[in-house]
Structure 1
Amino acid sequence: MAPKRALITGITGQDGSYLAEFLLARGYEVIGMVRRSSTVNFERIRHIQDKITLVSGDLLDEVSLIHILREHRPHEVYNLAAQSFVQTSWPQPVFTGETTALGVTRLLDAVRIVDPEIRFYQASSSEMFGKVVEVPQKETTPFYPRSPYGVAKVYGHWITVNYRESYGMHATSGILFNHESPRRGLEFVTRKISHGVARIKLGLDEELRLGNLEARRDWGFAGDYVEAMWLMLQQDQPEDYVIATGETHSVREFCELAFGYVGLDYRDYVVIDQRFMRPAEVDLLIGDASKARQKLGWQPRTTFPELVQMMVEADLQLVKEQMR
C-alpha cells in the first residue's frame, strides 16, 4: 500500500517540525510548504530536511495552494502557518488578518476545488477565548478574543466549521492551549525566560526584562500536542477539540522554576518593563481537554516542571555552543 501523504503549512515552525517528525515515524510522505523569502529559517527541520519534500507556496496566494495540492495530492493537510506572535498583531493587524484569518479560507477553498476528500486540520488557539467567560474553557465556551491575533484565529476557526458544514469536508479545528518547547521562538515569553536564564547563568547577561508576571497560562509540551492533531484527522467524524493540560501556571512560576533549576533566585534578575505589557491582557487561560481524552484517547505526557527543565537545559547547551 502506498504511504499516506501529508501537507504541512508552517513546517519550519515549532509545531510543524514536531508534526513532521511524528508523521515520518508513522511512514508518511511529508510535504512542507515554505514561503519564498530571503530569511527562511530551516533550523528546526534541518535534521529531517532530507526526508521531506519542501514546496514553495503562500497563504496569501490561493493559486500557489491549488498548484501544490494538484501536484502532490496529499491525503491530509495541516494548516499551521500564521502570523502567530500575539504581540506583533497590534502593530500589524491587517497582515495578521490576511494570513491568520483569510489564509485559512484560501487553503480550505483550494482543498474544496482540488479534492474535497482531503482531511483538513486548522490550528485554532486558546487566545480565541481571551477575556474568558468561564473557567476552565472547553469546546462550547464562547469566544472573546483580546488581540488582533485572537480575532483572526476566531475567523479561521469559524470558516473551518463553515466549510465542514457547507461542503461536507473533513475539516477539524484543534483549539490548542499554550504549547512550548526548546524550538519555541525567542520572542515568546517561555523561551525568552529559558534563554535568558542560560545567558545569566553563563555570565553573559545580568538581567531579564519581562512584562506581566501574573498572567496565567495552561502550558504543555508541543511534542505531545502534535499527536492530538494527527488523532483528530483519524476520526470518522470531524469535530473540534480543546487540547490542554488542565493546569494553570503564572509567568512568575515559570521564572521561579527556570532560575531555580540553575540555582538562582529570579527576584535578583527579573526586571518589569512596561514595553512588554499588552494593550489588552488575557489574564487566565486553562483548558478542559476531557473530550480529547474520551474521544481521541489523548493526554499530555510532559509535566510543567519537566517542560521548564527541558527548555533551560536546551538553552544552556545552545548558549555554550555559541560561546565556543
Structure 2
Amino acid sequence: MPRALITGITGQDGLYLSELLLSKGYEVYGLIRGQNNPKRELVEQTVPGVKLLTGDLMDFSSLLRALETAQPDEVYNLGAISFVAYSWENAHLTADVTGKGVLNILEAVRLYAHDDVSKVRFYQASSSEMFGKVQEVPQRETTLLWPRSPYGVAKVFGHYMTINYRESYGMHASSGILFNHESPRRGPEFVTRKISMAVARIKLGLQDYVTLGNLDAKRDWGYAGDYVEAMWRMLQQPEGDEYVVATGETHSIRDFLDRAFAHVGIEDWAPYVKQDPRFMRPAEVELLIGDPTKAHEKLGWERKVDFPQLVAMMVDNDLEEQRGLMAG
C-alpha cells in the first residue's frame, strides 16, 4: 500500500487529493496546524480515512516527526497562505509560510530520506500568480516569472527551491504551476465562491447585492477536482519536472457573473453588483491563460469539467447549502 503525506490538507485541493489517493488504495496522512484547528472536523467528516498529524511548515522538527510517522512514498506540499489579497497585509508571514515553508519541507524530506533521496517523491504547489505581469500569452513552463504580489514572490522562491533540490540532491521533485482552480469547497474569501454564494443568497432573497473589485481581470479557471489528478500523475513519472496545469481558456470576472446569475434566471446582474476600491489589488494581474500542452502530452492529463459546468456546480452547491441553513 503506497503512503502519502499532504500538507495543507484542510484546503480544497487537500480534500480532493485525499479522496483521489484513498480511492487508489493509498494510506494518507495529513498535516494539520494546532490541536484545536477549526477545520479539523471538516477533514474528519469529508475524508475519514485520512490519519491526521499535528505539525507546521514553520516548525522544522514537527515536519521531521510527521515524516517519521507517515513514512511516505509521496509528499504533496499544498500548505501555504494562499489568499493573494492577504499577502500585502501580511507580507512577512506570507514569505515565511508560502516561501520558506517549502524550503523547510524539502530539507526535512532530504534528511528523512538519508542516502536514498529518490525513495520519497515530492510535489510542490506552484501557482500561475508567479507569472504576474505576464511576459507571453499563453503562459507555459518556460515563461519568465514576474510576480505582482508578496504571495507570487513567495511562490517563486518555493518553485525555484524545488528545482534546486532536484538538481542539487537528485530528489524526485516536481512543481505543478496550477492556474486558478475552483470548486464548491473554495473558501468564501475567494472571488469565485464569493460570487456563487452571493448569487444563491440574492436568488433566495437573503441579500441585496455583492461588492467586488476589478471586474475586468481575466483568469484561466478550472475545477480543483480535475487538477489534483495532475498532481498525482506528476509523481508517477520517471523523473521530476515542471508542468503548467490549466484549461487554455480565459474568462473575466464579468463572464463569471454572467454565467452565475443566468444560472438562477437573472439576466441583468448590474443592479446586484457594486464595486469598491478596497477590493482592488495594489498591483493587478490582468490576464492569466495557461498552455497545458506539456501536461496533456507527458502526463496524459485532460480536464473533465468546463467553465459553464464549474460555475453551475458552485451556484447549485450554494443554493442547496443556503436552503439547508434556512430550513435549519
Which bin holds the TM-score, normalised by the shorter protein?
Answer: over 0.9
Aligned to 2:34: 36
Aligned to 1:58: 56
Q: 2:226 aligns with which of 200, 224, 227?
A: 224
Q: Distance in 2 between matches of 1:43 and 1:276?
A: 31
Give the TM-score normalised by structure 2.
0.97
Q: Distance in 1 between matches of 2:82 and 2:35?
A: 17
Counterpart code for 2:132: G
Give the 5 Å matches for 1:43-82.
Answer: 44-82=42-80
Q: Distance in 2 between matches of 1:39 and 1:7?
A: 18
2:44, 2:50 within 8 Å by CA — same for their partners in 1? Answer: no
Counterpart code for 1:66: L
Aligned to 1:259: 261
Q: Distance in 1 between matches of 2:44 and 2:262?
A: 32
2:4, 2:72 within 8 Å by CA — same for their partners in 1? Answer: yes
Q: 2:293 aligns with which of 290, 295, 301?
A: 290
Task: Kindly state the Cα deviation for residue 42 of structure 1 after the two structures are TM-superposed.
Answer: 3.5
Q: 1:196 aligns with which of 189, 192, 198?
A: 198
Aligned to 1:21: 19
Q: 1:7 aligns with which of 5, 8, 11?
A: 5
Q: 2:251 aligns with which of 249, 252, 259?
A: 249
User: Percent identity, aligned pairs only?
Assistant: 61
Q: Distance in 1 between matches of 2:276 and 2:37?
A: 29
1:44, 1:183 within 8 Å by CA — same for their partners in 2? Answer: no
- Matched residue of 1:315: which SS? helix
- Matched residue of 2:226: which SS? helix
Aligned to 2:316: 313
2:35, 2:54 within 8 Å by CA — same for their partners in 1? Answer: no
Aligned to 2:276: 273
Aligned to 1:122: 124
Task: Kindly state the Cα deviation for residue 50 of structure 1 after the two structures are TM-superposed.
Answer: 2.7
Task: Kindly state the Cα deviation for residue 46 of structure 1 after the two structures are TM-superposed.
Answer: 3.8
Q: Distance in 1 between matches of 2:31 and 2:189?
A: 23
Q: 1:205 aligns with which of 201, 204, 207?
A: 207
Q: 2:143 aligns with which of 125, 141, 144?
A: 141
RMSD: 0.9
- Matched residue of 2:303: which SS? coil
Task: Kindly state the Cα deviation for residue 39 of structure 1 after the two structures are TM-superposed.
Answer: 4.1
Aligned to 2:235: 233
Give 5+ residue unaligned stretches, structure 2: none
Deviation per residue, 1:170-217 (Å, 9 max, x gap): 000000000000000000000000000011001010011000000000
2:15, 2:47 within 8 Å by CA — same for their partners in 1? Answer: no
2:82, 2:151 within 8 Å by CA — same for their partners in 1? Answer: yes
Task: Kindly state the Cα deviation for residue 72 of structure 1 after the two structures are TM-superposed.
Answer: 1.7
- Matched residue of 2:211: which SS? strand
Deviation per residue, 1:214-233 (Å, 9 max, x gap): 00000000000000000000
Give the 5 Å matches for 1:171-190.
Answer: 171-190=173-192
Aligned length: 322
Give 5+ residue unaligned stretches, structure 1: none
Deviation per residue, 1:150-180 (Å, 9 max, x gap): 0000000000000000000000000000000
Q: Distance in 2 between matches of 1:157 and 1:7?
A: 19
Give the TM-score normalised by structure 1.
0.98
Task: Kindly state the Cα deviation for residue 37 of structure 1 after the two structures are TM-superposed.
Answer: 5.5
Deviation per residue, 1:30-79 (Å, 9 max, x gap): 00000005443146534444311000000001110011111221000000
Task: Kindly state the Cα deviation for residue 268 of structure 1 after the two structures are TM-superposed.
Answer: 1.8
1:136, 1:287 within 8 Å by CA — same for their partners in 2? Answer: yes
Q: 1:156 aligns with which of 150, 155, 158?
A: 158
1:126, 1:176 within 8 Å by CA — same for their partners in 2? Answer: yes
- Does the C-alpha gap of structure 1 residues 249 and 237 become closer, same or farther in structure 2, counting only changes over 3 Å? same
Q: Distance in 2 between matches of 1:82 and 1:40?
A: 17
Aligned to 1:88: 86
- Matched residue of 1:123: which SS? strand
Counterpart code for 1:99: V
Q: Distance in 2 between matches of 1:291 and 1:22?
A: 22
Aligned to 1:132: 134
